[in-house]
Structure 1
Amino acid sequence: MRLDLNADADEALVLLAQLGARTRLLAHHALVLQAADAISLAFNALTVPHDAQWLRMGAALHDAGKILHPHEEHESGTAHEAAGQALLLKQGVPAHWASCCVSHGAWQTPGLALEPCAVALADHLWRGARPADLELRVIDLAAERAGCSRWQLFGALDDAFEAIAADGPARLVAQRRTLSTLEPMQ
């Protein structure tokens, strides 16, 4: 399966499964995708211009390198980042989507756009984590895109991020429950 520019996030998840992604990794990507969708909805409500497809594809593909480095599913590590980008490029995934494998871990890089930073944020919010410096970076980039000040968006985006993070513990419980029933079958 190849992903062209008209592909959607469900197709990206199918590609990851075909490449050997384990159930745990696919579940993680689906949960990050939920958080990314909620961020996109918040941007839409505030009329923040953004590439919703890029945000969805980035969320669906960001940890692809963990197929090659499965120990990083439960251990800290960055080897999966460059490996994921190379794996996706080898599969013909457009370079701007494959770059999410590296950018989600390097969100502090100067000049990084709103969408990769929002994917990095979704990768935290899905489980209930709220990294203040990353949230402020996303708010500042969103304000820049919308042509307004940080403070014009801060309250609404802070509330949106809180709502997404508040569902994190329930997502973790649901993920554990699902994985406990599926993993013995793998």
Structure 2
Amino acid sequence: MTSPLDPLSRALDGPSDPPLRALPPEVAALLRELGAPPRLAAHLRAVHDVAVELVEWVRGRCPDLVFDRDAVLFGAATHDVGKVLHPGELVGGGSAHEAAGRELLLRHGVAAARARFAATHASWDDPAATVEDLLVSTADKVWKDKRVTDLEDRLVRALAEATGREPWEEFLAVDDVLARLGADAGRRLAFQAAFSTEAAPPR
């Protein structure tokens, strides 16, 4: 049993600046079971929080766009889980965590349709990428105010097709919401950096 004051618990659902939603309970339980490094939990929490904001914005702007909201939020909350197995990639970069994360989720009973985001969050340029993939990838960039033109263009096209509006209208709207979401990037980065990359004791 972990203390509510231990670093992993604080990263998962403790007070934060900026205020961040706690990770979904099933994700938090998995990260505790795996003994995830607190910094990884803090990162997943920040990306998940941005994904919630992004998804709610898309639903309001494009009510006719059909996509799986819950899958996007789960994907954002678990996209880097493979870094439990490749902790060096928390600070050094690398892609080994992608396939490893998908396999880890599958072994823990996660459906393939949701486990895939761990492997696809960096593959948004794949022709088979869905709206859900684009939203997870966008959240994983904009949480730190990183803007990727090709990724945003694909999201703009998806929204324009769903709404029937001109792509330039959707471009301006997407640019506006991503600028707003990126405004807190410095505080989110500071929140993440406050936590250790050392693994937590598994439960």
TM-score with structure 1 length normalisation? 0.86
Matched, 1:39 2:36: no
CA contact (8 A) 1:113 1:141 kept: no
Q: What RMSD in Å do the two structures reach over aligned CA positions?
A: 2.2
Match of 2:96 in 1: 79
Partner residue of 2:154 out of 113, 123, 137? 137
SS in 2 for 1:123: helix
Residue segments in structure 2 that go unaligned for 5+ positions in a row = 1-22
Shift of 1:83: 0.5
Matched, 1:106 2:118: no
CA contact (8 A) 2:145 2:183 kept: yes
Counterpart mapping for 1:149-160 below 5 A = 149-160=166-177
Match of 2:39 in 1: 24
Deviations 1:23-76 (A, max 9, x none): 000000000001111111210220242321111000011011101101011111
Runs of 4+ in 1 over 3 A off after TM superposition: 145-149
Higher RCO (Cα < 8 Å, 6 or more apart): 2
Deviations 1:74-118 (A, max 9, x none): 111110000000110111101111000111011110021011111
Question: Judging changes above 3 Å, is the alpha-carbon distance between structure 1 residues 107 and 144 closer, same or farther for their aligned structure 2 residues?
Answer: same
Amino acid at match of 1:127: K
The sequence identity of aligned pairs, in percent, is: 38
Structure 2 CA distance for aligned equivalents of residues 103 and 147 of structure 1: 28
CA contact (8 A) 1:13 1:61 kept: no
Higher helix share: 1
Counterpart mapping for 1:52-71 below 5 A = 52-71=69-88
Amino acid at match of 1:108: D
Deviations 1:115-172 (A, max 9, x none): 1111111111111111122111122122233344422322112100111111101211
Matched, 1:15 2:49: no
CA contact (8 A) 2:62 2:162 kept: no
CA contact (8 A) 1:42 1:157 kept: no
Structure 2 CA distance for aligned equivalents of residues 93 and 147 of structure 1: 35
Question: Judging changes above 3 Å, is the alpha-carbon distance between structure 1 residues 150 and 15 closer, same or farther for their aligned structure 2 residues?
Answer: same
SS in 2 for 1:106: coil
Matched, 1:170 2:184: no
What is the total number of aligned residue pairs between the two structures? 177
Question: Judging changes above 3 Å, is the alpha-carbon distance between structure 1 residues 161 and 27 closer, same or farther for their aligned structure 2 residues?
Answer: same
CA contact (8 A) 1:121 1:134 kept: yes
Residue segments in structure 1 that go unaligned for 5+ positions in a row = 1-7
